[in-house]
Amino acid sequence: VLSAPTTDAMVPEDTFLWFGVNSSQNLSDFMNEDSPLYTADAKEAFDLLKKEYNIDIPGLFSTFGGEFSMAVGPASDGLMTESGGVNMGLTIIAGITDEKGFNAWFDDLVDVASTQMGTELNVEKVTIGSYDLQEVSVETGAPAPSTVLLYGASNGYGFLSSSHDMLANGLDAEKTLAANETYIETWKAFPSGSIPYMYLDMGGLMDVIVQSGGSSSEVQTKLEKIPVIALTFNRPSTYVQNATMIAFMETKLKSK
């Protein structure tokens, strides 16, 4: 059963891509033998990761429950921004039923990554808003270490993010995506009872690309005419579920 997600109130107001789902189904159900997603190839890949690197994917999934979302938006820090040359950040938020298990899983992953890279990763405890997390950084020759990843489970949620500032602008800010005027108006165009699932603000995306040194030519001009694309799920009856996608178009009214 799906219900309205709440993680849009935990990401920055200027987030331009957001996926969110809030389900009573536990993500660990996808690791069951009868799940169509848990194919023989997937099982073999997970077994190999467990054998070679002690990375237990089903074990990670067993810590999840409830909400799951991904957000992409402007970011001014993080190794992804610094090395990629594009001022974007990525944040994943999930409902967590086993916070200790989630934290221990990523503690082990950082140790494995440090060993495989042959580079020491710095891990420091940080508090953002009311959430206690870990910030992983690496020395790159710059005056300050570069953030590789922030992770942690706290207050019922697990977080992964490439940017400290992006997390702070969602977890410790007065206005978030849930209060964004364009975001709010977008959902009003859908049928009553629709559950938000995907939101893409093309204008915000193009602004970041241009600010990062990208071209602002014909492609941007065309994309600006489709400012927002959004998708919802609907359940008009007990036995039926459907999805609705709307691409909003900018038009100019002809003067009389």
Among 131, 235, 227, smallest CA distance to 186 is for 227
What's the average pLDDT block by block, 10 residues per block, for the chain (256 residues)?
A: 88 96 72 70 88 88 90 92 86 95 95 88 95 93 86 97 96 94 93 92 83 61 74 72 84 44
Three-point CA angle 162, 164, 168, nearest 5°: 125
HSE-CB for 140 with a 13 A CA cutoff: 13
Q: What is the C-alpha separation between 22 and 32, in angstroms, rounded?
A: 20
Give the model confidence (pLDDT) of 23-35 as tens digits. 766 666 666 666 7
Q: What share of residues in the chain are helix, strand, coil (percent, to 5)?
A: 35, 35, 30
Q: What is the C-alpha separation between 184 and 186, in angstroms, rounded?
A: 5
Predicted local confidence at residue 171, as pLDDT: 96
Give the model confidence (pLDDT) of 55-113 as tens digits. 998 889 889 988 999 999 999 999 888 887 788 999 999 999 999 999 999 999 999 99
- Give Cα 76 to chain centroid, integer Å: 17
Instruction: Indicate left, alpha or beta for 217 from its phi (over 0: left) and psi (-120 to 50: alpha).
Output: beta
Structure tokens given for 97? 């039923």
Predicted local confidence at residue 248, as pLDDT: 87
Neighbours of 160 (CB within 10 A): 17
